[in-house]
Structure 1
C-alpha cells in the first residue's frame, strides 16, 4: 500500500537540506495516501481486542437463571471450532459429530443454524486474509476425504467453503437424521443459498420469508432473531462474537423487543449474557454503541493506532453523539463532524476542528518516532 521506509527517508532528506523545516509542521499532515494510524505496511490494521467491549458491558446470568429457550440461533462458524475433530477420521466423521451436537440442541428447542457466505469481492477480504496467515494448502474435500488439520480447514476460505457446502447438503438431505432429530423441533439451515431450508421430520421447505443476500453470519443471525421474536418465548444466540453482541443490543433496542434474549458460547462453562439486562444497564449509550464500535475498529473497518475499546466506552459514556453515522439521510458534513469529534475525544482532544487536529497529530505520535526525526 505504501512504504514507511520511503516516507521516513524523504522526511530525513528534508531535514538534511538547507530548507527551514519544523518537524511538527511536517507531522501535522498525513504522510501517506491513507492515514498511517489505521494501516500497517501490509494493509489494514485489524482490531484484535474487540472482546474488551463485550466484557466491559455484558451483564451475565447463571445457567440456572438463564431459563429455557424455545428458539436457538447458532453461529455455524463458531460452532465448528468446538466440535470434536477426529484426527484420524474423515470429513464424514466430523459431519456426524456436528449432527450429534445439533441433536442435543434440537432436543430442547427449534434451531436456526447459520453459516458465513464467501463472496469473491468482499469488504471482509482483508480480515479473512489475515486469518489465513500460515495456512496455504488447499484441499479437495469429499465425505470420504481424510480430515486435514482443524486449522487448515477452518482458517482457509477455500477449504471452509467446501466443508460448509458438504455440511449443508448432509444436514438438509439426511432423512435418517431428520427423523431422529427433528421429531420435536425444527431445524433451519442457512448456507450459500439466499433462502434457508427448514426441516421438520420428513417435511422440507424453503423459507422465502428469511431470504437474505448478506454474506456475514453476524447480520443474518440478527435478522433471524428479529424474525423469531414475535412468537418465541425466549431466544438463545450461540456465539462468542463481539460484533454479534453489539448488533443484538442495537437491534433489540431499535425494534423495542421485550422477549428474553441470551447470548451464550458454544463452549460449555463460559459466561451467559443477558441481552435484555445489558440493554437496561447501558441504555444511555446503546443508541450510539453500534456506530462507535464500527468506526473504532471491527471486521470491516481498520482500528486506530493506540486506541482501544476501553477508551471508546469512556467517550460514549461522556455523551458524544453519533446519531448521524449509519443514517443514510444525514448530511455528509454532519457525519464527518460527529465521527471526527468522537475519534478526537478518544485521543483526548477536546476541540475537533481540522486545524486543531493538525496541531495535535505530532503529540499523538510515539516519542520513539519523534526521537528518530
Structure 2
C-alpha cells in the first residue's frame, strides 16, 4: 500500500508519484525472475538515469536534480519496496559518485559528472578488502607513483556491481598510516584489473558482488580525487550519506514485508475468522508497523539535519542501526505471519528476510554503528 508521506513541496510529491509508477511498471514485474535466475537487469540503470533517479540529491550545475536528501531517500525507499537489490545498487552508485561530485576538481566534474548522473556511467564503491572491512584505515591495496600516474596493486572485496560498473571510487594506499590513503575515480575496465567470480550470496542476487584484483594497472594522474592522503576523510564522509541510503532501503524492504503480511492476514482465515482479527496476530502486525514507522522517522531526522547543513554523523549511524534491525525483525515476523507458506518461495517474504540480513552488515556493521554512536556520546 502507498505510504502517506509528508513531503516538503508539490514537486517532491509529483516525483514520488513518478517513482511509484516506474517502480510498479519496471521493477515489480521483473524482480522474482531476475532474483531467482541471478540475472543482471540489463538496461535498467540507464532507464533510471534517464528518468533522473540517479542524480536526485546532486547539484543542477552538473545535471543533478537538486532535491533535498530527505526526498532522495524516500525515492530509494519506494524502489526498495519493489526491488531491494536495485535500490541498494542505486544507493551504492550515489555513494560512488560522492567523491567526484564533492571533492573532484572542476575539470574532473566537467569530464565525468554528466555521464555519472545520467546513468551512462554506473559506479561501484571499492573500499573494503579481504582483511580490512570495517577497519578502513588498515587497507593495503597500493597506488605507487609512476611517471604516467599511479600503478595500482592489491585486492579489494565486497564490491557491489563488481565487474559490471563503469567506474569505481577506489581507495588505495599512497603512504603510511591513516593519512596515507588516497581516492581515485577508477575505470571499470583496465589492463591489470580482473574480478573474482560473483559471491554466492544469501540474497540480493540480481546484482553481482565480487572481489577485484589490481596487478599493476595504470591510472592517470587526472583520476586522483582530492589530494594524496585525503582518501580516508573522503571515504568516511561518503559513508555518512551512504548509511542513510541503506537505512532508506531497509525501511522500504520492511514496508514491503509489512504490506504482504497485512494483505495475507486479511485473506487467511482460521477458526472462522480472518487471522488479522486474532489479537495475538493483530498485535504482532502492530509492532511491525511501529518498527517501520520508527525506522522511517530515524532516517528522515538525519536527512533533514544533513539538508540544513547540521552535523548528522551520529544520527546517520542511529538511522542505519534502527532501520536495518527493524527490517530484520519485520521480515522475520512476516514469515511467521505466513506460517509454513512463508518458508516457501511461493511468496516473497522469505526473500525479504534473506535480503534484510545483509543490511545489518554493509556500510559498516551494526556493531560499528554502535561504536560510532558511543564515540559521539563520549565527546
Identify the TM-score tier after normalising by the shorter chain.
under 0.3
> If the length of structure 2 is used for normalisation, what is the TM-score?
0.24
Higher RCO by CA contacts (8 Å cutoff, separation 6 or greater): 1
Higher strand share: 2
Higher helix share: 2
> If the length of structure 1 is used for normalisation, what is the TM-score?
0.24
Larger Rg belongs to: 1
